[in-house]
Amino acid sequence: MANFENNRFAPLLRDKMSPKSYRKLIELENQRLFNFVGEYTELCDPDSVYMCDDSSEDAEYIRQESLRAGEEKPLAKEGHTIHFDGYDDQGRAPGATKNLVAAELVPLMGALLAKERQEGLAEVMQILKGIMKGKQAIVKLSCEGPTRSPFSIPCAQMTDSFYVAHSEDLLYRRGYEHFRLMGPRERFFRFVHSAGRLDENGNCVDLDKRRIYQDMDDYIVFSTNNQYAGNSVGLKKHAMRLAIKLSGTEGWLCEHMFVMSVQNEKMERTTRFCGAFPSACGKTATAMLPGEKIIGDDIAYFRNLNGEFRAVNVENGIFGIIKDVNASDDPLIFKTLATPGHEIIFSNVLSGPDNEPYWQGMGVDTPESGRNYSGQWFPGKTDDQGKPVPLAHSNARYTLRLGYLENIDPAHNDKNGVLVQGIIYGGRDSDTSVPVEESTDWKSGILLKACTLESETTSAVIGQEGVLVPQPMANLDFISYPIGAYITNNIRFVESIRNVPRIYAVNYFLRDSKGNFLTHKLAKKVWLHWAELRVHDEVGAYRTPLGFIPKYQDLKALFSQIFDEDFPEELYRELFKFRIDPWIAKFSRAVRFYTHTAPDCPKEYFDVWKSSVHKLVALKERYGRYIEPGVYSET
């Protein structure tokens, strides 16, 4: 048994921890973990430290303490609680988020939130000093990916927020037993979080000292003076940034992707797809399509296992956007959210006079009063700046365990992950990309589709909404080493993979000249099933300048089969015409973006984007502004 008695933190930890908590810590026999807890207990100075194991007693303790501290309040249905983040803490905060890297790397990081490491560490250590005074710190161990698997990354979180610990319990696999079995020298990620000083509503006071600093050399993240889960929960986007860096050095991939199974009932076949969409662009809705099965909705690890492209969902739950979740568009989530007995945290919604949660786009009559993130709410309320306060924030969320969903794929916990056959990249544009297009091969899929992904900004990130920004692989907010190297890692990943997945680009947001969406929300199911048929070589396609699009008859058959719905040929022509001008503009924006943000990007990639512009300019001479489906040929 490891001896901790000579460790310099032993007296401090014995003083701050109950004998039971202390025993749970030392029984793991992990010096690095012991030192981590000791070091940040000394620095942050909580009144006491509670060590969790994987027991349901500890999970219940966290839940009850969160209620007692007022971080969550009970709602009408059993198991349902509500949590509010502070008024200016309702989304990820890129302004306060930095990847700490060596000085010589900073110029190569372009747009990637980089800061010189020593300077960043000194700044955040100052903020952390004594920050947990008067509070209890919780130490909770979890695992990214299934435990005891080739994908596992064990993680240790120390936080003074019970809401954060509770969220982690819903969203990740418990990891205490994993730590016990893994051996003392295995790497793990570490997270220190403090909500800092709180006001009478339990919200952060010192937002000016909000920092989310991830140390890319030491795989540790410090998050201060915030509560919104995208800023506070270590295992979510912080661990993702660390994993992206680690995967870059080890040659695997961590992507901002769902993992799901398309069910072909006729063929009695299950085909796994992963998909990257920037925040609030339909990622969860795609993963949750009725009739299909979900494995995960936000973060995937990819590994080459014996020449196979395998994926796991890093998480075990969903932290999903609740806006527009209603009985007709997202029936499965809607039903799950209304089920009593499920442990669900609703954040930044309205709690009505009946103590039930309400949100925007819910599809039911909503009350005229209640409590939301702005305090007592009434229709027409404005904030200090005169900005209207909606009934619930547009980035209001729900947090629940995946296991509650009746459409969960039984393979979601498989230690070797699932075999992936298709990758989807989806953006949000009203006038450029067709609803679905298959790339000619992996590399051009990465360079022409993944790297040119763009999206209008949404409320998931604090700042102006509705601005078109490049979103390479829908991952820009999380890429943590130079973008050129990251693109190369994506291209190279399949080098020794047999049966490389096909790449698809989708766009659910095409509009007509009056601004109306051209298809209904569930049409995405048809695009997915077309991709499924393509993966199995069961339908043909028309060539386009950038890949392959569906033939009318195949989509007509799918609309009829899936929805018993007509699919007019005229609509097909409108949806699938190749729009040359916006694509020229898109590639030109890509060239500008990578010139400014990816100083390490190889010339070869620029040549691909630039030659695409030249090719399209020449095609415009030949075809005019649009290329009708079936008309284009490569020669």
The DSSP annotation for 49-108 comes to EEE--S-HHHHHHHHHHHHHTTSSEE-SSTTEEEE---TT-SSB-GGGEEEEE-GGGGGG
Task: Name the residue type at position 133.
Answer: K
Taking the CB of residue 105, how many other CB atoms lie within 10 A of it? 19
Smaller CB distance to Mn ion: residue 114 or 314?
314
Query: How long a stretch of residues is the chain?
Result: 635
Residue 245: CB minimum distance to ligand SPV, A = 17
**At its nearest, how many Å lie between ligand SPV and the CB of residue 209?**
20
Is 532 an interacting residue with respect to Mn ion (CB under 5 A)? no
Count of residues engaged in binding Mn ion, rule: CB under 5 A: 1
User: Which of the choices ligand SPV, Mn ion, none does residue 549 contact, using the CB cut-off of 5 to 8 A by kind?
Assistant: none
Q: Which does 230 bind (CB under 5 to 8 A by kind): ligand SPV, Mn ion, none?
A: ligand SPV
Q: Are 154 and 145 in contact (CB under 8 A)?
A: no
Residue whose C-beta lies closest to ligand SPV: 230
Token pair listed for 513 = 């000249």
- Residue closer to Mn ion, measured from CB, 298 or 454: 298
x-or-dash string of contact with Mn ion, 250-289, rule CB under 5 A: ----------------------------------------
Comparison of 17 and 460: residue with beta carbon closer to ligand SPV = 460
Residue 236 touches which member of ligand SPV, Mn ion, none, C-beta under 5-8 Å by kind: ligand SPV
Closest among 213, 160, 184 to 34, alpha carbons compared:
184
Minimum distance of Mn ion from residue 257's CB (angstroms) = 9
Give SS3 for 599: coil
Pick the closer one to ligand SPV by CB: 281 or 590.
Answer: 281
Q: Is 298 in the site for Mn ion (CB under 5 A)?
A: yes
Name the residue among 349, 137, 372, 92 with its Cα closest to residue 232.
Answer: 92
Give the active site residue among 44, 281, 451, 601: 281
- Least separation, in Å, of the C-beta of 294 and ligand SPV? 15
CB of 483 to ligand SPV, least distance (A): 18
**Contact partner, 226, from ligand SPV, Mn ion, none, Cβ < 5-8 Å per class:** none
Let me know if 281 is a catalytic residue: yes
Whole-angstrom distance, CA of residue 87 vs CA of residue 224: 16
- Contact criterion met (CB below 8 Å) for 489 and 247: yes
Nearest to 384 by CA among 374, 395, 373: 374
Here the tokens at position 114 are 């980089």
Q: Which is nearer to ligand SPV, 236 or 245 (CB)?
A: 236
Provide φ and ψ at 304, rounded to 5°: -85, 105
Instruction: Tell me which of ligand SPV, Mn ion, none is bound by residue 229, counting a contact when its beta carbon lies within the kind-specific cut-off of 5 to 8 angstroms.
Output: ligand SPV
122 burial (CB, 10 Å; 0-12 / 13-18 / 19+) is exposed
- Radius of gyration over alpha carbons of the chain, in Å? 25
User: What is the SS3 assignment for 546-564?
Assistant: CEEECCHHHHHHHHHHHHC
Is-contact 348 373, C-beta < 8 A? yes
Tokens of 165: 């610990």
Task: Give least dist CB 232 to ligand SPV, A.
Answer: 9
* Bridging pattern class, strands 114-116 and 293-296: unpaired
315 is a site residue for Mn ion (CB under 5 A): no
Q: Which stretch binds Mn ion (CB under 5 A): 59-67, 95-103, 298-306, 408-416?
A: 298-306
Instruction: Specify the pairing of strand 80-83 against strand 344-347.
Output: parallel
Residues in 581-600 at the binding interface with Mn ion, rule: CB under 5 A? none
Instruction: Report, in Å, the least distance between residue 263 CB and Mn ion.
Output: 25
Residue 386 has a CB neighbour count (10 Å cut-off) of 6
Residue closest to Mn ion (Cβ): 298
Query: Of ligand SPV, Mn ion, none, which one sits near residue 174, judging by CB under 5 to 8 A according to partner kind?
Result: none
Which chain residues interact with ligand SPV by CB under 6 A? 92, 229-230, 236-237, 279, 298, 319, 460
Question: Considering beta carbons, is residue 147 or 279 the nearer one to ligand SPV?
Answer: 279
With respect to ligand SPV, which residue has the nearer C-beta, 102 or 467? 467
Strand stretches in 53-205, DSSP E: 73-74, 80-83, 97-101, 114-116, 136-144, 153-159, 173-174, 189-194
Segment near Mn ion (CB under 5 A), from 295-303, 310-318, 427-435, 608-616? 295-303
Cα distance between residue 597 and residue 404, in whole Å:
41
Closer residue to Mn ion (CB): 165 or 281: 281
Stretch of residues binding Mn ion (CB under 5 A), selected from 294-302, 334-342, 442-450, 531-539: 294-302
Instruction: Classify residue 287 as exposed, middle or buried by CB count within 10 Å of its CB (0-12, 13-18, 19+).
Output: buried
Residues that bind Mn ion (CB under 5 A): 298
Residues that are catalytic: 281
